[in-house]
Structure 1
Amino acid sequence: MCGIIARVGEGGAVDELLTGLKNLEYRGYDSAGVAIPNGKSIDIRKQEGSVDDLVSAIDGNEPVGNIGIGHTRWSTHGPPTDENAHPHTDCTGSVAVVHNGIIDNHDELRDRLIAEGHEFTSETDTEVVPHLIERHLANGDGPEAAFRSAVDELDGSYALVATVEGGDALYATRNGSPLVLGIDGDRHYLASDVPAFLEFTDDVVYLEDHDVVVLNGDGYTIFDSEGRRLDRPVETVEWSPEDAEKGSYDHFMFKEINEQPVALGQTLSDRFTGDGDVDLGIDPDRYVDVDHVHFVACGTSYHAGLQGTHILTRAGVPASTYRASEFVATPPPLNEDSLVVGVTQSGETADTLEALRVATRRGAKTIAVTNAPGSTAVRETDESIFIRAGPEIGVAATKTFSSQVATLIMFAELITRSMTGSGIEDFEEIVDSLRSLPDAVQRILDTSRAERIARFYAGSEAQFFIGRGGAYPIALEGALKFKEITYEHAEGFAAGELKHGPLALVNADTPVFAVILGPGDEKTIGNVREVQARGAPVIVVAPEGADDALAVADEVLTVPDSHPIVASVLANVQLQLVSYHVAELLSRSIDKPRNLAKSVTVE
């Protein structure tokens, strides 16, 4: 869950490395550093804190060289300190390495290296790598051979880039952690994610596990683990550099909330055929014999999966949603008639990837629903569906969740037709609401009272979110978003479960956000009255025409009238705005909330 940037080519390296680190700070922001060979040694600059802290520290005394590596860290092994910051070096300072992932056998390797006389200066798992390279160099290997030999000794997940003093090359590989190559004429880049170098180039090569890349002034060469040359295709990313910039917004999160009309337009574009079918780029005939759909996901994507299960179950299709880590720990019965759908914004979420691998090993069909073409999830599943939301930089997912839910609504229709021979009963009405969705979201953005409600309730003892049916995943997502960026206590509950324990927590200082979207309205209204009887203020999120629901509210956040399934996206936008404005009032670090990273690439 760290960010890697590396660069080779004409011109100075440091400015582009620092730009790449700023672009990757959503992946890690505990510490940052760069390493630049200067012809005499490797100039290492690193420290605890943000990339801005690193920029300030080297301002006026920048390293000089046209090749370099950089890293922004999200701590796993050892706290955020100068010593634990990357890049890491060997005993002599002649090898520098940056790393994303976890090296499982680092304790064993460290003990062996210490016994051989190597001295370590950090608590990280990464530091074993430069020492391993140092040992193989001492044994007579050249830099590339030493890098390969070191990698062969590693167990775990990793993306690695190394440079060796006296050379003009970078050496890189990946196994279970993302690494992408960027190509711009005589300049080449390596990074954990495309936004790192998007303002320099949009031509990329998506590397695969165990690829070994050698970058130098003459270009790049990709080898397999046995040393055979590979030819990976060059693809053009459709994102523009402006997509990954804040522009006039104070925060990426607020920018991305406001980008949802455009993102949803991209998600829905050209997805409906003239005869009423859905075209998601997958073959419906593959799923005729499927008897159960299993969604696997983590965090926000898990809530999107819950919405997918709700829609399919409502249509009579057997479906379940699992937290990916629990699916791995205790997989359900699977066979060739099972379909496992991995919902992952980045396509690199470690637990979700492992769940998909478990499904593949057991013979199930697999689909990835992702925002990231070229990601590991895309390469390892039978087919992929792209949500087309554009780059999302804020750690708290906003527009990707909306696009995931919209995509899963369409997927539910496609898979229902495949499995049952007929579609969702009221799908024409759903399609009408989907077509109006971008405009409806824009209307909320233009008229929302969320900022006023945030000012009134910010600083409460706790916040509770309740919903029933399709509103339940939105309650969970609303609570998750609130706790992610405000650091305040928030919990989401199925509305009917309040009386089975959570009601004990309710008092006059615990506002309750009740999401009421149609089905089960009268029962959820009853739950609202229960919490009001305990003194809790209630903010109802409901369609404009839901008079009964709105009548019981202390405050209201309305959404345009829409089909209840589609209205879930609209309700979520209102809750996103509440979380954002509360976090802003509390002066939280909205784009980079403490202890969190955007792409969780370790289990």
Structure 2
Amino acid sequence: MCGIVGYLGNKSAKDVIIKGLKRLEYRGYDSAGISTLQNNKLEITKTQGKVSDLIAEISTDTHTGGLGIGHTRWATHGVPDNKNAHPHSDNSGKFTLVHNGIIENYQSLKQLLADNGITCKTDTDTEVLVQFMGYLHQKEKLDFVDTVRLALNQVVGAYGIVVLCEDYPDMLIAARLGSPLLLGIGEDEFFVASDSSPIIEYTRNIIFLDEGELAVIKPDEYQVRNISGNEIVPKKVEEIKYNLDEIEKGGYDHFMLKEINEQAYTISEALRGRVNSEESTVILGGIYDWIQQILDAKHIYITACGTSWHASLIGSYILEELLNMPVKVEYASEFRYRETAVNSDSVVICVSQSGETADTLAAIRKAREKGALTLGIVNVVGSSIARETHCGVYIHAGPEIGVASTKAFTGQVTIFNLIGILLAKKKGCDIEKIKPIINDLDALPGLVQSVLDQGNEILPIAEHFMDVENFLYLGRGYQ
């Protein structure tokens, strides 16, 4: 699982998809592939290695159509090699599919296929899914849409998929359950991708597919339907808020270096319009209507994964100190499975850069089932966590491409400070306790920039320690 791009329009699908896959290279991957419809036949090219290796495999007279799908794969089922790379096809060659996620019941589906004389050629769960679609299409005499729906209704697991069918040369189907997908709406063209970076060059108008939804895309229209019941779901078209240059390196050697150097600006963006230094007040419109319920809560939980979990540990110190109430931090993968004391007297704060972290999303759903108020701290506007929590705050850090989080982490810690100040003041905290924190936040972007400006002095230190395998960090409190 890794990056997905799909295209239907008047441009060269090959060119759009290859460029899109290159924009998704930051995710890391071990193989890449593309499938297009050419002369009413599905054509697949895929290879182990980089997108540049894929380009070398594509001859000039292939993949010339305006309908196609592409994928960069990070192996989960099956070793990284040419045969296990996506897209996958069924034995009839009528269906090709790219997939992010894990099909948990692929073994039982594979046995069903074997019992009906269908043998899989690869080790992947993805091939099992597309072979299952081909089997249902032939056995049940279904159209393209109903074939995909029926197959997905029998799948257990998580997926973001895009599918082509040779018999439907003007249709693209995308579906999502547990793995993000969005639809880009252009001028007489449509795009599908696992995030917005392959799309922004062509359109800012997007639709986020929600859990259990399927998009049927044709040259002049699209419909979003519920997978389980096939009902049409009205969707709101949203606008991508960032610019193309924000996902370029901007003269830096790599994205991580760029994002390190953006932190003074992104902290300023997290504070912008939210802090009144003269009155020592904080305004967070995303949680305004829920402030009293938060203050009335008996328990505050914070749940996250990875770097967001580390930001949450700092956040718990901030909230406990300012609110004088217990705050518990849990890894989302633990929170979602174990029995907790979460109930209607609880607030669960969910932290994620992408807003699509699967374990954190599952934790939100569990918390809501138990009656808790959920609050999201996310970076990506309109993401699943932003939509599924009751309320929340954006960190406004812009796209974070580097795998090691930098500006998102400092943005999350900044937002925890703002939430703590706002709630503390509403609770009647002494203004003299709040004012120094606000003054420090005002000074923070400048202090960060002063450190970044010392890059030439810091470089020799980094070079001195670059080969050290282990570091031990000692600190206390916020340190």
Instruction: Report the TM range for the smaller structure's normalisation.
Output: over 0.9
Among 255, 280, 283, the residue aligned to 1:279 = 283
1:282-301 superposed matches below 5 A? 282-283=287-288, 284-301=291-308
Identity %: 40
* SS in structure 1 at match of 2:135: helix
- Counterparts of 1:445 and 1:267, CA distance in 2: 18
Aligned residues of 2:280 and 2:438 also touching (Cα < 8 A): no
Aligned residues of 2:14 and 2:65 also touching (Cα < 8 A): yes
1:95-244 superposed matches below 5 A? 95-139=95-139, 140-167=141-168, 168-225=170-227, 226-244=229-247
* SS in structure 1 at match of 2:477: coil
- Counterparts of 1:455 and 1:24, CA distance in 2: 30
Cα displacement string for residues 421-449 of structure 1 (whole angstroms, at most 9, x for unaligned residues): 32675321111121222222111111143
Aligned residues of 2:34 and 2:87 also touching (Cα < 8 A): yes
CA distance 1:59–1:407, shift in 2 (3 Å): farther
* SS in structure 2 at match of 1:177: coil
The match for 1:262 is 265
Among 464, 472, 477, the residue aligned to 1:464 = 472
Cα displacement string for residues 459-511 of structure 1 (whole angstroms, at most 9, x for unaligned residues): 1242222211111xxxxxxxxxxxxxxxxxxxxxxxxxxxxxxxxxxxxxxxx
User: Could you tell me how far 1:379 is from its partner in structure 2?
Assistant: 1.9
* SS in structure 2 at match of 1:437: helix
- Counterparts of 1:450 and 1:320, CA distance in 2: 36
Letter in 1 for 2:293: R
CA distance 1:166–1:277, shift in 2 (3 Å): same
The match for 1:530 is none
Normalised TM-score (structure 2): 0.95
Does 1:317 pair with 2:318?
A: no
Among 416, 426, 436, the residue aligned to 2:424 = 416
Cα displacement string for residues 90-135 of structure 1 (whole angstroms, at most 9, x for unaligned residues): 0022100011111111111011111111121211111122112111
The match for 2:256 is 253
Q: Which runs of 5+ in 2 are unaligned?
A: none
Asked which structure has the greater CA Rg, the reply is: 1
Alignment root-mean-square deviation, CA: 1.6
1:554-569 superposed matches below 5 A? none
CA distance 1:458–1:288, shift in 2 (3 Å): closer
- Counterparts of 2:25 and 2:451, CA distance in 1: 30
The match for 1:453 is 461
- Counterparts of 2:119 and 2:236, CA distance in 1: 42
Aligned residues of 1:416 and 1:424 also touching (Cα < 8 A): no
* SS in structure 1 at match of 2:281: coil
Q: Which runs of 5+ in 1 are unaligned?
A: 472-603
How many residue pairs get aligned? The number is 470
Aligned residues of 2:103 and 2:125 also touching (Cα < 8 A): yes
- Counterparts of 1:57 and 1:254, CA distance in 2: 32
Letter in 2 for 1:439: G
User: Could you tell me how far 1:314 is from its partner in structure 2?
Assistant: 2.1
Letter in 1 for 2:188: D
Letter in 1 for 2:466: A
User: Could you tell me how far 1:61 is from its partner in structure 2?
Assistant: 4.8
Letter in 1 for 2:223: T
User: Structure 1 residue runs of 4+, over 6 Å off?
Assistant: none
Cα displacement string for residues 295-341 of structure 1 (whole angstroms, at most 9, x for unaligned residues): 10111000100010111222223112111112223343112111110
